[in-house]
Amino acid sequence: MQHKLTPVADCAVTFRDPFWAPRRQVNRKVTLAREYELLRQTGRLDAFNPRVKGVHQFWDSDTAKWIEAASDALGAAPDPVLQRRVDTVVRRYVRSQQADGYLNSYYQRVAPDKRWTNLRDMHELYCAGHLMEAAVARYAAGGRDDLLQALCRYADHIGTVFGTGKGQKRGYPGHPELELALVRLYRATGQKRYLDLAAYFVNERGRYPYYYDIEAQARGEKPSAEKRGQAYQQLQAHLPLREQATAEGHAVRACYLYAGMADVAAETGDAGLKRTCRRIWKNIVTRRMYVTGGIGSSFAGERFTVDYDLPDEGAYAETCASIALVFFARRMLDLELDGAYGDVMETALYNGVAAGVSLDGTRFFYANRLAVYPALMERRISGQHFTSFRQSWFGCACCPPNIARLYASLGAYVASTAADRIALHLYAAGEIEAPVGDGVVRLALKTDYPWDGEVAIAVTPDRPRRFTLALRLPGWCARPVVRINGRRQPLARIARAGYAYLEREWRAGDRVDLSLPMAVERVEAHPSARQAAGQVALRRGPVVYCLEACDNGPDLADLALPRRAPLVARRSPILGGCVVIKGRATRRSRDGWKDSLYRTARAPRVPAAFQAVPYCLWNNRAEGEMRVWLREC
Amino acid sequence: MQHKLTPVADCAVTFRDPFWAPRRQVNRKVTLAREYELLRQTGRLDAFNPRVKGVHQFWDSDTAKWIEAASDALGAAPDPVLQRRVDTVVRRYVRSQQADGYLNSYYQRVAPDKRWTNLRDMHELYCAGHLMEAAVARYAAGGRDDLLQALCRYADHIGTVFGTGKGQKRGYPGHPELELALVRLYRATGQKRYLDLAAYFVNERGRYPYYYDIEAQARGEKPSAEKRGQAYQQLQAHLPLREQATAEGHAVRACYLYAGMADVAAETGDAGLKRTCRRIWKNIVTRRMYVTGGIGSSFAGERFTVDYDLPDEGAYAETCASIALVFFARRMLDLELDGAYGDVMETALYNGVAAGVSLDGTRFFYANRLAVYPALMERRISGQHFTSFRQSWFGCACCPPNIARLYASLGAYVASTAADRIALHLYAAGEIEAPVGDGVVRLALKTDYPWDGEVAIAVTPDRPRRFTLALRLPGWCARPVVRINGRRQPLARIARAGYAYLEREWRAGDRVDLSLPMAVERVEAHPSARQAAGQVALRRGPVVYCLEACDNGPDLADLALPRRAPLVARRSPILGGCVVIKGRATRRSRDGWKDSLYRTARAPRVPAAFQAVPYCLWNNRAEGEMRVWLREC
């Protein structure tokens, strides 16, 4: 393919669908305002002010994500109050920048003499990356280049400090993020030096001798042997990236890094990096991903563990990690248009990500477990991230503003364009204005997706125009049908790698009908995924379901679903309107157990009608048990 | 019942059975010698020597448990080398005792001015308790009273420091153990002040204001609110013992405490304490105990969690905790002869405890999980206690010498006697010499127990003598049969609470035949025990089985056992000779999965013959997956 695909801008997409439109509205009206208030109360928005106490190494990133989210929201719709808030916060950053371009509230306030002495732990380059992303978003939303200019200066400063040149430090971020941010900065400014710097960070990472050893020695520490092996794997820095074959360590860091690597590969055409992207992607999605698109199964280290290790109660599956997977998937889609990437992106968005925030936009999950027993949470597991209910804030507040910026920029995940193509990845009612060649094509989608799979697309080019409309054929749909102006298209011929390629001269009034029949499916996991053995997850379209105690009573694990029991999908008014699944299972009778914990008499089973709701909507009505995987009998 | 039951002494029991006899032999010949060497190498045996570095607060307890074990072993059979070693170590302790009776290597060496300032954390009274147990065992084994006299002086010193009198500290052990040790000391010496002191510790515990707050304040610390609630529950000190209804906190501390409470109740007849014992016992065995007799399901805090929370992979089930449960059960048996206590004691001994040591006596499990995946252990869970193979030693070395002393004193768990009764709790081939009234009764057992349930008992009183022989009727046996001299006894009339009471004038040549038919049973867990839902554990007699990868290949969780599949028990030469269980299950085919992690096509199932081995014997042949609970289909 000669032309590179580029995401459409969020502001070119209008959502009128039942799923994202209300969430984006809540995000703009409620979440952004509450996060502003919490960032303000905790001191983050005024971190350079000497009166603010407790400045933390990751504060800049929290604020930057909020600036990015607010800027994206302002790009979609003006809001004077929000605009004033963003301008004020940005002004503080711009004003606080040092003469050499350095810009970090923690080091400037707390340890001005310790700059660049601990990349491994201190999030210094990570914060720089988030500020760059915020700067690009602010510029893209309304042309305000104050922060962009500041961050270019900062990037230039970073470019003088790090690199392979004489006197430069051969360091790289302990928490990746800067890599993809530099590519965004390159795309926004056209300055190739930012791409080169991103490529440097990607290529330098994990080389021996380890930079983290060198800087530790410079700090007067003796890096232990343990640190080198296990601990650098935690940071994806145990091996040069091109030699890495599996997704390792902290899941958010990992997928931010892989996303940055995919960006560099896309811009440089580096075949080795592309291979590495594909290899690690494959390891994630075929061995280390929850059915919800959650990744990073271990609370300890917030990390990947080993192939097929996907505990449900013990799942960590950080909200930020699913977001990072969406970033990685989105970039792989533009690198090589393959529906498999779109399938994972869609799964993560409708499940692992959407579960991260309450319907009212005020509460968040940090960890997204696939089975929850509230009684246990009180006693067994400590840590505020591992609760059985969403919380309004976290000391480590990465997830809330990360959701906010993803939701505010969601349009950019819907479609990509190139000179001769529009690729449609997600289906949501609304309009898309896509630049194609020298003109513009409007797509108007009518659909009740994700609750229904009938999608009508009115195609309106600015003038009759030949181009390809590539429609993603979701992997969950066994028999999709595509019609143009009522005529069924031969998918066997025009579909490849999960997309249907509709090439023709399009005219105003053309209509495409995409029919994606949605059945309730029982999904099973690979025989090596032991924690799901004998169980199925219910899925309909891209939406994964769960059972909650408020619908089904406690002891959900004892429910067993007969193999051939019919499962009925029904539109329900609950939870803001959604499709629920109803069926009949069985559970063991409690009679006759008295005070026995174990017994050999077989307990009789009694019928138990059940209702499953979308996983992303759980804990919006009550606290209680929840379970995704259901045992079959 | 007018006469109190008392355990027979270990030296009055000879084991000639296929299970315990070889283990006791290995314990004496191998384990005790290796533990001596490891205790010596780590400095523990010479802790008072100023040249030994790193004295730790719990070292005395490790050494004391070894002295106790070695003394018990010497009571059963002389061994000049072992005797010399014990004498040397004991001499060091006796010689190091301070003028006021104080005796603790850590405080005397490391912090002589900090005595009795931190009962909560520092194991000071815990070490005293273990030294007392060692002293009693040494005295009982051969009349050597050097250590006993020293520990009486130490107990007297403790009695001056602690109590409700003027100027006394109202403290109690952070790690219980001293309570039961003081009762042992009372029984050995007849000095009621030791019983009174034990009763004081039991009764003072958990009163408000909390002593641990008071001593923390005295140290200049501010006890946090968090400490008071959750942290004192960890030590069973959140409430007065009589107000506690559930087994909470650190499982070893808990059951040592409950055992001490049962001892005090037995000696004082305190009805309130007895009720508390029964209430907490019931909570453990009906809500918080693994099918193997393991307790304390959480790695964090080595503790009980909530009712029915019994994860298999995540099980902690410390070896010491099962041993502590055996202590508690044994004392409840003498408090009120009920087979339910004997059932739990037998289950813990043959499963949760016996799994703690390798067949060759050189390696130990600290945590006893019920499902193990070695690949995971390398990455997911840190901590030396949580390995997929037994280890030769631990930094916190509580379990190895605890097994050694239990095995060396196992005879005391076999039977109890009173003036008019012998109660037989465990069945193992061999001889028992039981004091009854003013004489002695010899019981000679012939049986292949636990591999077979036919038990022939030759009863030989010193002269014709009327007494009751009470035989435990194991709960696992649905239809036991008892014959005296070939004549079947009417169990409906003579059995109550799990024991058959055979009262007659016994004469030399009398023979009792106890027939306990052993079937392979499928045990299911309560519907609220979610981690075992849909699964069964295989049990035969008192022995719980497991599957190992070396017999059955990996991915054991994917095996499914048809509900009516026949299960065959067969004597096998493997693992030192044991009964294995064979059957046919099914597993999903790996074909057609290619690189999918999730799919909706139902995977075909293929037959899979399997072999289960006793749980206590796993990891004696190879490292690999292991699993107790098997899914039924």
Global confidence as pTM: 0.95
Give tens-digit pLDDT for A342-385.
999 999 999 999 999 999 999 999 999 999 998 886 554 455 56
Half-sphere exposure of B246 (CA within 13 A, CB side): 15
What is the model's pLDDT at position B1?
A: 41
Let me know: does B561 contact B523? Beta carbons within 8 Å.
no
* Helix then strand then coil, % of chain A, to nearest 5: 40, 20, 35
What is the model's pLDDT at position A592?
A: 85
Q: Which residue's entry shows tokens 């909706």?
A: B600
Residues of B in Cβ contact (< 8 Å) with A597: 285-287, 289, 308, 525-526, 529
Distance from the Cα of A217 to chain B's closest Cα (Å) equals 26
Report which secondary-structure segment, H or E, holds A13: strand A13-15
Residues of A in Cβ contact (< 8 Å) with B379: 298, 305-306
Please indicate whether, in this complex, the C-beta atoms of A300 and B527 are within 8 angstroms of each other: no
In A, minimum Cα distance to B528 occurs at: A555
The minimal CB distance from A309 to the residues B376, B525, B587 is found for B376
Other beta carbons within 10 angstroms of residue B147's beta carbon come to 28
Cis check: omega of the bond before B311, within 30 degrees of 0 = no
Give tens-digit pLDDT for A140-199.
998 999 999 999 999 999 999 999 999 999 999 999 999 999 999 999 999 999 999 999
Let me know: does B52 contact B435? Beta carbons within 8 Å.
no
Distance from the Cα of B551 to chain A's closest Cα (Å) equals 17
What is the model's pLDDT at position A123?
A: 97
Strands A605-614 and A578-588, bridge-based pairing: antiparallel
Report which secondary-structure segment, H or E, holds B90: helix B80-96
Give tens-digit pLDDT for B586-616.
999 988 898 899 999 888 999 999 999 999 9
Phi-psi region of A97 (alpha: psi -120 to 50; beta: other; left: phi over 0): beta
Mean pLDDT along residues B448-461: 98
Give tens-digit pLDDT for A276-318.
999 999 999 999 999 999 999 988 889 999 999 999 998 999 9
Distance from the Cα of A39 to chain B's closest Cα (Å) equals 27
For residue B456, pLDDT over 90 is answered with yes
For residue B135, pLDDT over 80 is answered with yes
The minimal CB distance from B526 to the residues A298, A300, A597 is found for A597
For residue B382, pLDDT over 60 is answered with no
CA–CA dist B536, B560 (Å, integer) = 10
> Which of B597, B626, B633 should we substitute to test contact with A (largest number of A Cβ atoms within 10 Å)?
B597
CA–CA dist A58, A545 (Å, integer) = 35
Q: How far is CA A251 from the centre of its chain?
A: 11
Residues of A in Cβ contact (< 8 Å) with B534: 534, 558, 560, 631, 633
What is the model's pLDDT at position B383?
A: 55
Cβ contacts below 8 Å, chain A against chain B, sum to 144
Q: How far is CA B55 from the centre of its chain?
A: 27
In B, minimum Cα distance to A632 occurs at: B633
The minimal CB distance from B600 to the residues A287, A521, A633 is found for A521
Residues of A in Cβ contact (< 8 Å) with B302: none
DSSP A85-114: HHHHHHHHHHHH--TTS---HHHHHH-GGG
What is the model's pLDDT at position A414?
A: 98
Give tens-digit pLDDT for B392-416.
888 888 899 999 999 999 999 999 9
Catalytic-role residue among B124, B177, B302, B346: B302
Alpha-helical (H) ranges within A496-586 are: 549-552
Residues of A in Cβ contact (< 8 Å) with B378: 306
8-state DSSP, A383 = S
Give tens-digit pLDDT for A456-491.
999 999 999 999 999 999 999 999 999 999 999 999
CA–CA dist A626, B194 (Å, integer) = 52
> Which of A283, A307, A380, A625 should we substitute to test contact with B (largest number of B Cβ atoms within 10 Å)?
A380
What is the model's pLDDT at position A1?
A: 41
> Which of B325, B544, B598 should we substitute to test contact with A (largest number of A Cβ atoms within 10 Å)?
B598
What is the model's pLDDT at position B396?
A: 85
CA–CA dist B375, B388 (Å, integer) = 9
Q: What is the largest CA-CA distance in chain A?
A: 79
Residues of A in Cβ contact (< 8 Å) with B308: 597
Give me the phi and psi of B134, to 5 degrees please: -60, -40
Strands A487-488 and A481-484, bridge-based pairing: antiparallel
Please indicate whether, in this complex, the C-beta atoms of B526 and A596 are within 8 angstroms of each other: yes
Let me know: does B69 contact B404? Beta carbons within 8 Å.
yes
What is the model's pLDDT at position A4?
A: 87
Contacts of B570 (CB under 8 A, 6+ apart): B579, B580, B581, B582
- Torsion sign (Cα): A90, A93, A96, A98: negative
Mean pLDDT along residues A509-529: 97
Give tens-digit pLDDT for A91-136.
999 999 999 999 999 999 999 999 999 999 999 999 999 999 999 9
The reply to whether B346 belongs to the active site is no
- Candidate from A205-219, A240-254, B193-207, B370-384 with smallest mean pLDDT: B370-384
Among the listed residues A417, A394, A395, the one whose alpha carbon sits nearest the alpha carbon of residue A333: A417
Among the listed residues B538, B610, B30, the one whose alpha carbon sits nearest the alpha carbon of residue B292: B538
Mean pLDDT along residues B556-562: 97
DSSP B407-465: HHTGGGGTEEEETTEEEE----SEEEEEEETTEEEEEEEEE-TTS--EEEEEEEESSSE
> Which of B380, B382, B518, B521 should we substitute to test contact with A (largest number of A Cβ atoms within 10 Å)?
B380
pLDDT category, A227, cuts 50, 70, 90?
A: low
Let me know: does A75 contact A140? Beta carbons within 8 Å.
yes
Burial class for A431, CB neighbours closer than 10 Å (0-12, 13-18, 19+): middle
Please indicate whether, in this complex, the C-beta atoms of B282 and A381 are within 8 angstroms of each other: no
Q: Report chain B's C-alpha Rg in angstroms.
A: 25
Buried b (16+ CB within 10 A) or exposed e, B36-60: bebbeebbbbbbbeeebeebbbbbb
Residues of A in Cβ contact (< 8 Å) with B557: 530-531, 533
Please indicate whether, in this complex, the C-beta atoms of A558 and B382 are within 8 angstroms of each other: no
8-state DSSP, A42 = T
Contacts of B286 (CB under 8 A, 6+ apart): A595, A596, A597
Catalytic-role residue among B152, B255, B398, B399: B398
Please indicate whether, in this complex, the C-beta atoms of A529 and B311 are within 8 angstroms of each other: no
Q: How far is CA A527 from the centre of its chain?
A: 27
Residues of A in Cβ contact (< 8 Å) with B554: 528
CA–CA dist B134, B564 (Å, integer) = 51
Other beta carbons within 10 angstroms of residue A204's beta carbon come to 18
Among the listed residues A154, A153, A267, the one whose alpha carbon sits nearest the alpha carbon of residue A202: A267
Please indicate whether, in this complex, the C-beta atoms of B530 and A291 are within 8 angstroms of each other: no
CA–CA dist A279, A258 (Å, integer) = 11
CA–CA dist B347, B293 (Å, integer) = 6
Mean pLDDT along residues A6-10: 94
Please indicate whether, in this complex, the C-beta atoms of A286 and B590 are within 8 angstroms of each other: no
CA–CA dist A304, A544 (Å, integer) = 22
Distance from the Cα of A331 to chain B's closest Cα (Å) equals 21
CA–CA dist B78, A242 (Å, integer) = 66
CA–CA dist A40, A89 (Å, integer) = 10
Distance from the Cα of A1 to chain B's closest Cα (Å) equals 27
Q: Encoding tokens for residue B97?
A: 């005792």
Percentage of chain B modeled with pLDDT above 70: 97
What is the model's pLDDT at position A386?
A: 73
Q: Encoding tokens for residue A289?
A: 């991903």
What is the model's pLDDT at position B393?
A: 85
Give tens-digit pLDDT for B69-81.
999 999 999 999 9
Distance from the Cα of B606 to chain A's closest Cα (Å) equals 12
What is the model's pLDDT at position A375?
A: 84
Burial class for A272, CB neighbours closer than 10 Å (0-12, 13-18, 19+): exposed
What is the model's pLDDT at position A309?
A: 95
Q: Encoding tokens for residue A307?
A: 């192939």
Give tens-digit pLDDT for A61-95.
999 999 999 999 999 999 999 999 999 999 999 99
Please indicate whether, in this complex, the C-beta atoms of A598 and B537 are within 8 angstroms of each other: yes
CA–CA dist A325, A352 (Å, integer) = 10
Contacts of B438 (CB under 8 A, 6+ apart): none
